[in-house]
Amino acid sequence: MSNLQSQDYIRISATTVTPPAARSWEDQVAKLIDVTRCIGCKACQAACMEWNNLRDEVGFFEGTYDNPLDLDPHTWTLMRFTEYENPKGDLEWLIRKDGCMHCEDPGCLNACPAPGAIVQYANGIVDFISENCIGCGYCVKGCPFNIPRISQADHKSYKCTLCSDRVAASLEPACVKACPTGAIMFGSKKDMTDWAGERVIDLKSRGFENAGLYDPPGVDGTHVMYVLHHADKPSIYAGLPDQPKISSTVEFWKGLLKPLALGSIAFGVVAGFVHWITAGPNEVQPEDEAEANHLLASKGRPTADPSRSIAEETP
């Protein structure tokens, strides 16, 4: 998804060798989402769709302003609205822009069994390299923030790229550019952290005693950070994890199981080759063809992208 090149990689999925840091002079970047000045206008969502050429179906009203209802392969960022009554009994309408957090220690990358399908650049951005993705869904399991979504059309995993293509050309991510109130900022991780500190001082002066920066240590910090009015309770913001960390299964997979599993995959390949040499290729029989055609016909259409059909069926 990116103009960045392999020289920029600092981590690569399913690869034990850490690449040499050919371009290690790059600044660590971060996107700072100041929830306290966000008005939930969804300009970021629109800009994301525009820049990445994503269009979901026109959905339905489901009792929430969250539209579409969830992240999906066409929706890489989503405003999530929460009506929260604080302990004083006053209402707060918490609006959080959800999307990939670009963890410093990315659970998705750790979990990914496909070599080079998930990479991290020297600037900290975690990117999915679609042509290497095998659609296994391990990244979904590995993500502590429940972000990646597998497309039913091409069986690949998708999420926010932090506009790595724009960033490579020294542009800010599309959502940052579109935000009318400056609630989404982009820059070096240090600058963003410093600015967040100023915002927290202002918020505390306005009575938000627990205002703070969300940069969770459980994943070694993130390259998408939030300023929260209630940093002591992240989960009130539509389930933002209080203490995200990579699941122990993934840690286990990464540490011990992955070499073993990769070994067994390799064994499978070797065994398959031996079988092919000894028993010959598996050929499609006429009855297999018939069965396949029958299955296609029963769906009433060719194999086209199933997600495109909803609107057509219910005009």
Residues in touch with another protein (CB under 8 A): 36-43, 45-46, 49-50, 55-65, 67-68, 83, 85, 90-95, 180-183, 199, 202, 206, 314
CB of 87 to another protein, least distance (A): 15
CB of 30 to another protein, least distance (A): 19
Whichever of 191 and 251 has its CB closer to another protein, that residue is 191
Whichever of 19 and 208 has its CB closer to another protein, that residue is 208
Whichever of 202 and 242 has its CB closer to another protein, that residue is 202
Whichever of 25 and 61 has its CB closer to another protein, that residue is 61
CB of 161 to another protein, least distance (A): 19
CB of 54 to another protein, least distance (A): 9
CB of 60 to another protein, least distance (A): 5
Whichever of 24 and 64 has its CB closer to another protein, that residue is 64
**94 Cβ contact partners less than 8 Å away, ≥ 6 residues apart:** 35, 81, 82, 83, 84, 229, 236, 237, 238
Backbone angles phi, psi at 267, to 5 degrees: -60, -40
Whichever of 83 and 283 has its CB closer to another protein, that residue is 83
SS (H, E, C) the chain: CCCCCHHHEEEECCCCCCCCCCCCCCCCEEEEEEHHHCCCCCHHHHHHHHHHCCCCCCCCCCCCCCCCCCCECCECEEEEEEEEECCCCCEEEEEEEEECCCECCCHHHHHCCCCCCEEEECCCCEEECHHHCCCCCHHHHHCCCCCCEECCCCCCEECCCCCHHHHHCCCCCHHHHHCCCCCEEEEEHHHHHHHHHHHHHHHHHCCCCCCEEECCHHHCCECEEEEECCCCCHHHCCCCCCCCCCCHHHHHHHHHHHHHHHHHHHHHHHHHHHHHHHHCCCCCCHHHHHHHHHHHHHCCCCCCCHHHCHHHHCC
Task: Evaluate whether 99 touches 176 at the Cβ level (below 8 Å).
Answer: no
Whichever of 115 and 187 has its CB closer to another protein, that residue is 187
CB of 94 to another protein, least distance (A): 8
Whichever of 58 and 284 has its CB closer to another protein, that residue is 58
CB of 34 to another protein, least distance (A): 9
CB of 240 to another protein, least distance (A): 17
Task: Evaluate whether 157 touches 133 at the Cβ level (below 8 Å).
Answer: yes
Whichever of 87 and 180 has its CB closer to another protein, that residue is 180
> Rounded to an integer, what distance in angstroms lies between the CA atom of residue 170 and that of residue 187?
10
CB of 311 to another protein, least distance (A): 9
